[in-house]
Every structure is written in C-alpha cells, then in structure tokens.
C-alpha cells in the first residue's frame, strides 16, 4: 500500500508537474488514511469501500478538521483512487460516490483602514530593512497579492512607469495588478536605496531579498508581518492574507465593482469573491442598528 502511494506521489511530480507543497499535502492525507486502515481493519486498497473512506473522513472531522480542509482531503482521495483504477490496481473507485462537505460560511477577517494605516506608518524606512519591510506590506495592501506572489515577485515583473505588476497566481495564471502610489514610492525607495546592499554574487532577480541575498521564504515574510504588527502596538493576529482581505474589503466599501475586485484578486470564480459582500452587509447592518431610531 505504501508503494502505491509512493508511485502516486512520483506521478504527481513527474507527469503532472505539481508543486512540492501539493505533493506533501497529498502524502499527508494518504499517510493518515493508511494509518487509519492499519489501525482498524488491516485491509488492502482493493478491499476498501466507500463506507471505509467515509469513516476515515468522519474521524478527521471529529479530530477538528474544518469543512474546507475536509474538502481538500476528499480531493486527494478522489485523485488517488482514480489513479489506482486507471493503473488497473483497482476494479472500482470507492471514492467516486463521496460527496464534499458544505463549505463553511465563515467570513474573512479584516481590519479597518485606521489600523492598517497604523501598521504601515509605524515602519521607519531609515532603520535597517525598514524600506524592504515597508515595500512588502504596502504591496500586500495596495495590490491584494498572495503570500506566494510576493515571494515569487521578480524585477522583470514590475513596471513602475505605468504602475503595474505582472503576477503569476494559482493555476499558473498571469494577471496584471496596479501598484498604488504609496506602494510605488516604497518600492522605488527599497530598490534604489536598500536592495543593492542585500545583493550577493549569486543573487537572482527576486525583488525581496534576505540578508543573505536569497529570496525571502513564505515563513520569513509571515514573521516580518507579525513582527511589524507587534512593533506597531497592534494586539490582533496580523498575517499576510489578512492584508489581502483588507485590500478587497476596503475596495468594496468604497464602491469598487465586484467583478473588478475578482480580476484584481485573481479569483477564477466570482463566487469566491462574493464572500466580501457578506462582510460589507455585516457593516451595513451594524450602521443601521447604531444609527436608525428603531434599529
């Protein structure tokens, strides 16, 4: 059974060309399934039925996995067992009848504009790495970039004359995002006044560099955002994706069209973007309650 998992991960890497992170995610799901099978019935893959897979997913839900994570694990199971059927390791696909759990209606967290301004204005560009960190946070908020998009940003992808940046997002899809005025100023200051000092002989064209001259890792960028929030005296949990939520929410609150926000965020489906309308409606209800005589 482990050998078939290994063959499948190799297939994802070589034939599908999927990322190392995705391979690890699939491997974790299948490893947990293998442990579940070993602890319960000592079955082989060919002996597993839909009920067994449902029982596995139920244990994951009871262990605290939310609906979105369960959906991801179910996708992993479906592509794995489909692979086994195509390779004639199984006659029937036990994962095919599985129905995904309903997505939770949890609203995205956000910050008001005053807190975002507090965060950004607290960064002193004259201090060591201040220009770099300010440029990173300004880009998150100005352009709604994902963490991976910040980490993968390269010099050749930005056009500061026209204030645009070319971004490759999920599904290898490329989009153009505008760079706001303050983000442009922060970027220019970093590129001319700080990045040259970080460059080493083997430095590539990554925009944001570590002190060693290499690209910043996602974990390091998360750490930078949290450190800057702490220094700004903000008690809330601040993380990169929260600034992306702020970008979308503040655009919507100020009258931007939802389709435009969808394009800027790089969402394939408008339904993904519509979650921000619920945030806006929540604010409208609060205003009505506070200010209407019979609210």
How far is it, in rounded angstroms, from Cα 4 to Cα 108?
38
At 198, list the tokens.
């970080």
How far is it, in rounded angstroms, from Cα 269 to Cα 272?
6
Q: Tell me which residue of 193, 199, 184 sits closest to 135, measured CA to CA.
A: 184
Residues carrying an active site annotation: 146, 170, 241, 244, 267, 276
**Complete DSSP assignment for 137-187:** HHHHHHH---HHHHHT-BGGGEETTTTEEEEE-GGG-EEEEE--HHHHHHH
Sign, CA dihedral 85-90-92-97, equals: negative
How far is it, in rounded angstroms, from Cα 105 to Cα 70?
15
């Amino acid at each position: 059974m482990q050998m078939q998992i290994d063959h499948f991960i190799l297939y994802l890497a070589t034939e599908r060309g999927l990322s190392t992170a995705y391979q690890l995610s699939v491997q974790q799901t299948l490893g947990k399934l293998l442990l579940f099978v070993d602890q319960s019935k000592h079955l082989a893959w060919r002996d597993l039925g839909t009920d067994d897979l449902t029982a596995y997913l139920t244990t994951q839900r009871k262990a605290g996995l939310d609906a979105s994570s369960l959906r991801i694990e179910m996708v992993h199971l479906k592509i794995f067992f489909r692979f086994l059927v195509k390779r004639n390791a199984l006659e029937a696909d036990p994962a095919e009848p599985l129905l995904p759990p309903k997505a939770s209606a949890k609203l995205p967290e956000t910050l008001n504009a005053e807190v975002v301004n507090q965060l950004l204005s607290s960064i002193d560009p004259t201090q060591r790495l201040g220009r770099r960190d300010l440029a990173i946070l300004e880009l998150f908020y100005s352009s709604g970039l994902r963490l991976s998009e910040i980490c993968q940003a390269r010099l050749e992808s930005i056009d500061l004359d026209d204030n645009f940046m070319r971004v490759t997002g999920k599904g290898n899809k490329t989009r153009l995002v505008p760079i706001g005025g303050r983000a442009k100023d922060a970027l220019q200051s970093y590129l001319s006044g700080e990045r040259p000092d970080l460059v080493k002989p083997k430095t590539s064209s990554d925009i944001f560099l570590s002190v060693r001259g290499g690209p910043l890792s996602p974990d390091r960028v998360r750490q930078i955002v949290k450190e800057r929030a702490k220094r700004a005296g903000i008690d809330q949990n601040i993380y990169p994706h929260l600034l992306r939520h702020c970008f979308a929410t503040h655009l919507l609150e100020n009258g931007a069209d939802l389709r435009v926000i969808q394009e800027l965020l790089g969402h394939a489906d408008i339904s993904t973007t519509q979650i921000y309308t619920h945030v806006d409606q929540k604010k409208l209800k609060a205003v009505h309650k506070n200010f209407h005589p019979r609210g």
